[in-house]
Structure 1
Amino acid sequence: MTLLILWRHGQTEWNAAHRIQGQTDTPLSAVGVSQAKESAPRLAALNPTVLVASNLNRASTTAAALAEVSGLSPAYDPRLRERGFGDWEGHTHAEVTERWPESFARWRRGEEVNDAGVEEIDAVAKRMVAALQEVTAAAGPDAVIVAATHGAAARFATVALLGWPMSLAPSLGALHNCHATHLRHDAVRGWTLEAHNAA
């Protein structure tokens, strides 16, 4: 069976400030670099065979920490980027609440925003799933794939791969920095959830 590990990047200064990043290319903070270096050996112990990453700096730097201890060379795929948050990017949650109160309330409930240029949930899920299925197919059976990606993108990919209705996405807890979701795949059962928020 294939093991797919969706690994969220380390912390950024914007994460710490509750500032919405989306596809803004923010770097890891010192804390984030430390998180990546601490979690990489634990992932390396799972003997990964494939390493892919979003091409945003915070994910690619996180992937580099695993590359250093595993010897894998990461591939980069823009489809693994975070959900685009349009006009919200760069603003804190409080600022978005003030300027787009109804839209932000919908977002908090896990509903579509349909405002401010925020990427649709279905679009995020489709691009993530397409990228991950391609990697899985190319890796072959019994592969261990690590995908360094982003919180919202990983959540929607998880729900889509499991075949759950997207309305259940809010029930899947937020993925913490440098934590991971583990999914197994076999030809008979398809995708199953093995772990969520694994340190």
Structure 2
Amino acid sequence: MTHYIYLVRHGEHQDAEHGLVDGPLSPRGIRQAEHIADRLSGLPLDTVWHSPLLRAAETARAIAERLPAVDPMPSALLFDCVPTGMTEDTPAAYEPFFGSISDAEIEAGRAQMADAVNEFLQRKQGEVHEVLITHNFVIAWFVREVLGAPDWRWMTLNQANCGLTVIAQKPGRPWSLLTHNDLGHLPMELRTGMPDPIPA
């Protein structure tokens, strides 16, 4: 019996192009959410968790509309956050990113993700199918955790809007990464949200 977690980045939101932190889904984001809902609709989902931010809550609502037996629930452990600062091993190219992030924000993000890993990466009994609708950095941290990669490597793992990442654990085995940022359910014109690469 396998425990599956389906990690989904929220759909594109209307205020993204204006640099605002949150906002409702854009028309394109609504379509993205509908497509990921269709992708997940054949699964025997037990739970759908989502970040309390509006863009994640509206993505969860789109899934619930197609899966009426599912009642999405917010979790503060899935808020957008920055889980680490610069480390000795972090490439210098990432320094500008951290220039606008306070030590308090990093400490809060580190604590949040430690609690999130303890909460969600605990093996549950039987066959389990959970969806977590959250943010780019949060998904990157989960993938980094599953792969046992150095802390700073979350920065190299990016997710598109409504991309699908799947991790799973069989009894007696470690967590495994089954797929990362799968966009097969999205038409090309709906593939958005990948951060710009850091210049070399």
What range is the shorter-chain TM-score in? 0.7 to 0.9
What are the equivalent positions in structure 2 for 1:31-180 lying under 5 Å apart? 31-70=28-67, 71-83=69-81, 105-106=94-95, 113=98, 115-117=100-102, 119-120=105-106, 123-124=108-109, 126-131=111-116, 133-135=118-120, 137=122, 140-172=125-157, 174-180=158-164
The alpha-carbon distance between structure 1 residues 18 and 25, as it changes in their structure 2 partners (threshold 3 A), is: closer
The alpha-carbon distance between structure 1 residues 165 and 136, as it changes in their structure 2 partners (threshold 3 A), is: closer
- Equivalent-residue separation in structure 2 for 1:106 and 1:133 (angstroms): 29
What are the equivalent positions in structure 2 for 1:13-28 lying under 5 Å apart? 13-15=14-16, 17=17, 19=19, 24-28=21-25
State the TM-score, normalized to the length of structure 2.
Answer: 0.74
Instruction: Report the count of equivalent residues.
Output: 172
- Equivalent-residue separation in structure 2 for 1:139 and 1:67 (angstroms): 23
Deviation at 1:159, TM superposition (A): 0.8
Equivalent residue letter for 2:170? D
Deviation at 1:26, TM superposition (A): 1.8
Say which structure is richer in helix.
1
- Name the % identity: 27
- Equivalent-residue separation in structure 2 for 1:136 and 1:105 (angstroms): 28
The alpha-carbon distance between structure 1 residues 155 and 116, as it changes in their structure 2 partners (threshold 3 A), is: closer
Equivalent residue letter for 1:106? E
Deviation at 1:157, TM superposition (A): 2.2
Check the 8 A contact 1:136/1:145 in 2, yes or no. Answer: no
Q: Flag structure 2 segments of 5+ consecutive residues without an equivalent.
A: 84-91, 184-200
Equivalent residue letter for 1:61? E
SS at match of 1:52: strand
Check the 8 A contact 1:44/1:69 in 2, yes or no. Answer: yes
SS at match of 2:4: strand
